[in-house]
Amino acid sequence: MFKGYSLLKYTIKRILQLIPILFAITFLSFAMMRLAGSDVVEQKMLNTGQVVTDAQLEAAKAQLGLDKPFLVQYITWLNDLLHGDMGVSFVSGMDVFDTFISKLPATLFLTVTSIVLTVIISIPLGIISAVYKNKFWDYFIRFFSFIGNSMPNFFVSLVLMYILGIKLRFFPIISREMSFESVAMPTITLAIAMSAKYLRQVRTTVLDELGKDYIMGAKARGVKFSTTLWKSVMRESLVTIITLLALSIGSLLGGTAIVESIFMWDGVGKMAVDAINMRDYPIIQAYVMWMAIIYVTVNLITDLSYRLLDPRIRLEGTDNE
Amino acid sequence: MKGIKKAVAFAMAMALTLGAFTGCSGSKKEPTNASDDGKKTFTFGDTTFNAENEEATIDPHEAYCGWACIRYGVGETLFKFNDNMELEPWVAESYENIDDLTWKVVIKDGVTFSNGKACDAAAVKACIEDLVAVHERAAADLAIDSIEADGLTLTIKTQEPKPTLMNYLCDPYGCIIDVESGNADGIVVGTGPYVATELVTSDHLKLVKNDNYWNGQPKIDEITVLTITDGDTLALALQNGDIDAAYGMAYANYPIFENDDYVFTGTPTSRAFYCQMNYNSKIIQDDAVRKALAMGIDKEGFVNTLLKGYGAVGVGAFPDNFSFGGDAVSTVGYDPEAAKTVLEEAGWKDTDGDGIREKGGKTLTLKWVSYPSRQELPLLCESAQATLKDIGFDIQLNITADHGTIVSEKDGWDVYAAAFVTASIGDPMYFFTTNCLDDSPKNRGGYHSDELQKLAEEMNVTFDPEKRGELAIQMQQQLLDDNSFIFCSFLRMSMITKANVTGLKAHPSDYYEFTADLDIQ
Amino acid sequence: MSSVNRQVSVRQLKVKKCNTKCRLIVFATLAICLVAVAVFADRLCPYDPYAQDLSLSYQAPSAAHIMGTDAYGRDMFSRVIVGARASILSTLALVCIITLVGTAVGTISGFIGGKVDAIVMRVSDFFLAFPGLVFALAVAALLGGGVLNAIIALAVISWPKYARVARSQTLSVKVSSFVQAAVLAGDNPPQIIFRHILPNIFGPILVTAMLDIGTMTMELAGLSFLGLGAQPPIAEWGSMMSSGRSMLQTYPWVVLSPGIAIFISVVIFNLLGDTVRDYLDPK
């Protein structure tokens, strides 16, 4: 049996595991982007279509420290980081941490709206689908879930923009400020694909539970089916659903590169794509670290919520000790 | 079973509520250009106003930010280019070339900055001195030794003969700004019809009209410039009415706007799409191969079909709005049959029947490098690949953002398709010094011509524009005779506006967009 | 992750199996047809998919060109058929690779346990935590664009998922009585893995793989859409959609044809995946 003490110990242990992952990931991303050839100076030159002399090019690189050996660059970066300085963007010249923080609210907002919409769509429809298994409503819902699950999101974005933005004029095309009107189309785009996926998972989970013996037992004892459904099935299904949601929140917090770019939603994902295109190493590093932190946190929260929701489950990683 | 029905009904009600919520939350939005207090507003969508294009701010003394400064009507240069890329007075009245190293510029009387301060010679001096102190490219271009200001007269001395000094001062970095007002948040004070009030890098710029404007009364009260990097979003935003005008629309979207609701304003520019030959490659060294390549690219088809006619077919390095451009030079045209003959005669024959020619055990395979950030280049490359295949070439395309690394390796490529603004300051020499001479930074293909070197030396000390034009013709013809460059087309820069927008006109230099004439009905 | 971790109820297995079998046959046939189109693409397309004729640029669908033509006057129908090769065959190759590698790593790691297991799980953590986009872009930049390199990029970041599934299955099978019995009977580890563990974890892994085909098709298309996958003029659905995306309003057939092709294939593979799951693991 676990006590509060071991739960805390477990949490600390998991957070400590983040450190080597952060090291390895930032090093690898640094190495890979560095090996990838062209750098930010050349990218800028290319974008403006103008030419600078080799001497100017070298001077610009030297100014950014790009002329130094790769390891020196990484260690310099790491050293600055340990002193709380994430550097400045090679492209805009602005502080990386400030830039990153300024992009975060947009991504958080989009994450919340699309998760809420996904939950509202997928849980009820998933339950309907499971309860009416292989009946009309099941096929009807699953048909649309297949469609939603089989269309690339850039395609969904364009179609939504065309129908909701141009034909019906419901929403603005460009998401200017953080209002529900602006966030509607990116939210719907993301929710369509996620709902389609999670609807199937909810259906499976509920079917799993419905197929278990205790349901039969409850039926035999004359317990009302709706009571069983809400009290037992939902409670048991919650573990799976929470895991799924945690994973989705994680991937959404990392920014949805394509959707954010298409809708000009000024979030973390768009920032990452722009930074990668420009080889803006300091921003890429911030993004990679953010992704790693999300990953570890989401896993930790999932594990902990398992433990809280279902005391029978032992925490992964503790069974080896 | 009643229980299930209840559960299902509840679930469906939730889904329906949601549908109603999303359906209603978007009230129908009718775009309007008059705000509640009767102010005229204008919204402009631009694909390139961002940090990636070195336009992080509108401070002309920083990187390429001068482009935004001049385009959006905040800053103005001493002189401006006319449609033939010749200099006309703007902030300055006139200039005089005293001797090889000395220039005298007279500033117009009555020009003021948007903060009301007079723009006299002393202010211009302060601005240019700050420019050369902080902007390396400008410092190298201008090579200024000293500046003297006296009332409205400015005397500039250069360190070496600079026949094109006045042209360089009309580069966007030459925008005259009030350096005393500083550049907080990247916003500067210029002499133009609009004043910047708010700037968020790579996102938007807000402008209000300059009530102190020295050259007429601006008609729009408030302008917003939005950075919209995605071409499809740009098109949809213009259709939806979120923006009133757009810069950088994709060709494929043009047909949507070819109707009475929209107006195109276009102009040929000197941004050339061309192929550069790598003389380090054995195959390319063969004169017949280069000639066949020049004859095997369907420039007309590329411009008329793939670019939908929004472009000009290239002959030499400059478009035909220049006296030394267009038909002033001549080259071989698209002629696949003649190209085959040229190759046959040079010994390139298809002996194994696979459609690709060989000679001396070598197949006619060329590594062709280009990059995707200019939407025209992939179209050109794919089209050329097919037409050249009919002649017997095997073209291996590598269209990558990493092209810089590849072309810097001597053996990594054979042909390089690229885009280049050949006459950004209205003078022809820039193209040659950058791309074609022995010490040119971009002469990656190792091209060398004795004749061209000689002409270039002459050009460097020639001040008379007419004589420079003649030299430019001879130099281009040399490139074309050697088939060391194939000039395929010139960009036709287009802006698309809603039909009620007037006074927005594309300019061959690509510099000037918002003027006091800009209006919306 | 845990959705495949289910118990089989023998009672219901018999009831539904017949119905499921019919569906399995139908969807499997459809999937085989798709693969056949990909394999025999050369013989099926009416025109040379790479032959350009600018005078035929942007022809609307007609009897001669049932899906119209693209900017270069190439026949879209032929390009969609040939595109099946790059899209479907590479997806299948990708799924095979990650399934094999992931299963091998996961099974061994789960079977051996202890330090090895801990290390393998940290490594898989590392790959799962690494942003896929950064990785794909770096691979494209290092090795150049191309279908093969896109497969490599996706394979490197996708295998840990299979390793996790295989590991958790192995852990649950390892403690079962028949494996314990085999250990007591003196079977060596390879024998146990091949005779007892693999056959028992095969189902969940197959289901994961089948359900992943659709997702991977879209991921590959997504990489091509971002310009990191297939290079022009190679016909591949994702890159065809990417180059045609701005034509949605003006020449919709250029983007809809490959879009519908992706859609149909993903639907078929998803239906097949679902059915295989129902067949092996009915509820």
Q: What is the CATH number of the domain that holds A150?
A: 1.10.3720.10
- Below-70 pLDDT ranges, chain B: 1-37
| For residues C211-219, average pLDDT | 84
CB B168 within 8 A of CB B425: yes
Complex ipTM above 0.85?
no
Token pair listed for B204: 């938007």
Q: Do A46 and B371 touch (CB under 8 A)?
A: yes
Separation in Å, CA of C50 to nearest CA in chain A = 25
A309 touches chain C (CB under 8 A): no
- Domain harbouring B433, CATH code: 3.10.105.10
Separation in Å, CA of B466 to nearest CA in chain A = 25
State how far the Cα of A167 lies from the Cα of A165, in Å rounded to an integer: 6
Tell whether A43 and A121 lie within a shared domain. Answer: no
Neighbouring residues of A135: CB distance < 8 A, sequence distance ≥ 6 = none
State how far the Cα of C53 lies from the Cα of C56, in Å rounded to an integer: 6
Contacts of B400 in chain C (CB under 8 A): 144-145
State how far the Cα of A145 lies from the Cα of A194, in Å rounded to an integer: 10
Q: Determine, yes or no, domain membership for B13.
A: no
Token pair listed for A172: 């603005």
Of A21, A152, A210, the CB nearest to C262: A152
Residue A11 phi/psi, 5-degree rounding, is -60, -45
Q: Do C50 and B386 touch (CB under 8 A)?
A: yes
User: Biggest alpha carbon distance in chain A?
Assistant: 86
Neighbouring residues of C244: CB distance < 8 A, sequence distance ≥ 6 = B252, C70, C251, C254, C255, C258
Token pair listed for B277: 């030959």
Tell whether B398 and B378 lie within a shared domain. Answer: yes
Q: Which residue has the higher pLDDT, B329 or A151?
A: B329
Instruction: Band the pLDDT of C13: cuts 50, 70, 90.
Output: low
Q: Would you tell me which residues 287-306 of chain B have a C-beta closer than 8 angstroms to some C-beta of chain C?
A: 298, 301, 305-306
| For residues A162-180, average pLDDT | 77
Q: Is A180 exposed, middle or buried (0-12, 13-18, 19+ CB in 10 A)?
A: middle
Of B12, B52, B240, the CB nearest to A124: B12
| For residues C75-91, average pLDDT | 92
Tell whether B505 and B484 lie within a shared domain. Answer: no
pLDDT above 50 for C3: no
- Under 8 Å CB pairs connecting chains A and B tally to 159
Among B403-407, C21-25, C214-218, which is the least confidently predicted range? Answer: B403-407
- In what order do the strands lie in the sheet containing B102-107? B92-99, B102-107, B153-158, B144-150
Tell whether B325 and B432 lie within a shared domain. Answer: yes
State how far the Cα of C121 lies from the Cα of A317, in Å rounded to an integer: 10
Q: Would you tell me which residues 267-296 of chain A have a C-beta closer than 8 angstroms to some C-beta of chain C?
A: 272-273, 276, 284, 287-288, 291-292, 295-296
| Closest chain C residue to A151, measured at CA | C263
CB C51 within 8 A of CB C235: no
Alpha carbon A60 to chain centroid distance?
35
Q: Do B52 and A128 touch (CB under 8 A)?
A: no
pLDDT (0 to 100) of residue B518: 94
Q: How many other CB atoms sit within 10 Å of the CB of residue C12?
A: 12
Tell whether B311 and B342 lie within a shared domain. Answer: yes
Tell whether B302 and B373 lie within a shared domain. Answer: yes
Q: How many other CB atoms sit within 10 Å of the CB of residue B84?
A: 11
Contacts of A205 in chain C (CB under 8 A): 3
pLDDT above 90 for A9: no
Averaged confidence pLDDT in chain A? 78
Tell whether B301 and B439 lie within a shared domain. Answer: yes
Q: Determine, yes or no, domain membership for B32.
A: no
Contacts of C214 in chain A (CB under 8 A): 149-150
Tell whether A250 and A114 lie within a shared domain. Answer: yes
Tell whether B121 and B91 lie within a shared domain. Answer: yes
C-alpha distances in Å from residue B298, one per residue of A36, B330, B387, B483, B504: 34, 16, 7, 16, 33
Q: Determine, yes or no, domain membership for B256.
A: yes
pLDDT digits (tens, 9 = 90+) for C189-203: 888 888 888 888 888
Domain tally, chain B: 2
**Amino acid symbol at B61:** H
| For residues A253-279, average pLDDT | 80
Q: Determine, yes or no, domain membership for A138.
A: yes
Of A29, A149, A151, the CB nearest to C134: A29
pLDDT (0 to 100) of residue B116: 92
The pTM (predicted TM-score) of the whole model is 0.79
Q: Do C114 and A320 touch (CB under 8 A)?
A: yes
Torsion of CA C216, C221, C226, C231, to 10 degrees: 120
Secondary structure of residue A277 in the 3-state scheme: helix
Instruction: Band the pLDDT of A321: cuts 50, 70, 90.
Output: very low
> Which of C143, C249, C253 should one mutate to test binding to chain B, selecting the residue with the greatest count of B CBs within 10 A?
C249
Among A111-120, A283-292, B209-218, which is the least confidently predicted range? Answer: A283-292
Range of the domain at A267: 102-307
Q: Determine, yes or no, domain membership for A317.
A: no
Neighbouring residues of C204: CB distance < 8 A, sequence distance ≥ 6 = C4, C5, C6, C165, C169, C281
H helix intervals, B392-517: 403-407, 429-435, 450-460, 465-482
Q: Where are the domains of chain C?
A: 17-280
Tell whether B223 and B284 lie within a shared domain. Answer: no
Of A164, A174, A188, the CB nearest to B242: A174
A55 touches chain C (CB under 8 A): no
Secondary structure of residue C111 in the 3-state scheme: helix
pLDDT above 70 for C108: yes
Contacts of C248 in chain B (CB under 8 A): 232
Instruction: Band the pLDDT of A177: cuts 50, 70, 90.
Output: low
State how far the Cα of B351 lies from the Cα of B147, in Å rounded to an integer: 69
> Which of C72, C240, C241 should one mutate to test binding to chain B, selecting the residue with the greatest count of B CBs within 10 A?
C72
Instruction: Band the pLDDT of C12: cuts 50, 70, 90.
Output: low
| For residues C239-255, average pLDDT | 83
Length of chain C: 283
Which helix (H) or strand (E) is B362 found in, with range? strand B362-363
- Domain harbouring B516, CATH code: 3.40.190.10
A65: left (phi over 0), alpha (psi -120 to 50) or beta: left
Q: Determine, yes or no, domain membership for B27.
A: no
Tell whether A152 and A255 lie within a shared domain. Answer: yes
Tell whether A205 and A283 lie within a shared domain. Answer: yes
Q: Do A158 and B232 touch (CB under 8 A)?
A: yes
C-alpha distances in Å from residue C5, one per residue of A301, B257, C168, C201: 20, 55, 8, 10
Q: Which CATH number is C17-280 given?
A: 1.10.3720.10
Contacts of C54 in chain B (CB under 8 A): 298, 301, 305-306, 383
CB C91 within 8 A of CB C216: yes
Tell whether B241 and B355 lie within a shared domain. Answer: no
Tell whether B224 and B350 lie within a shared domain. Answer: no
Alpha carbon B127 to chain centroid distance?
25
The 3-class SS string of B368-394 reads EEECCCCCHHHHHHHHHHHHHHHHCCE
Q: How large is the angle between the packed helices C147-174 and C198-225, nearest 10 degrees?
A: 150
Token pair listed for A251: 């991937």
Q: Do B228 and A174 touch (CB under 8 A)?
A: yes
Token pair listed for A4: 């509060």
Of A89, A121, A225, the CB nearest to B4: A225
State how far the Cα of B92 lies from the Cα of B176, in Å rounded to an integer: 10
**Amino acid symbol at B374:** R
Tell whether B206 and B64 lie within a shared domain. Answer: yes
Please choose, from the candidates B513, B430, B518, the residue with its C-alpha nearest in 3D space to the C-alpha of residue B48.
B513
Q: Determine, yes or no, domain membership for A243.
A: yes
| Closest chain A residue to C13, measured at CA | A211
Secondary structure of residue B411 in the 3-state scheme: coil
Range of the domain at B191: 41-261+499-520
Please choose, from the candidates B209, B233, B115, the residue with its C-alpha nearest in 3D space to the C-alpha of residue A266.
B233
Q: Determine, yes or no, domain membership for B436.
A: yes
pLDDT (0 to 100) of residue C5: 41
pLDDT (0 to 100) of residue B195: 96
Tell whether A149 and A229 lie within a shared domain. Answer: yes
Q: Determine, yes or no, domain membership for B222.
A: yes
State how far the Cα of B276 lies from the Cα of B488, in Å rounded to an integer: 11
pLDDT (0 to 100) of residue B34: 59
Tell whether A141 and A251 lie within a shared domain. Answer: yes
Secondary structure of residue B79 in the 3-state scheme: strand
Separation in Å, CA of A180 to nearest CA in chain C = 27
Of A17, A149, A158, the CB nearest to C270: A149
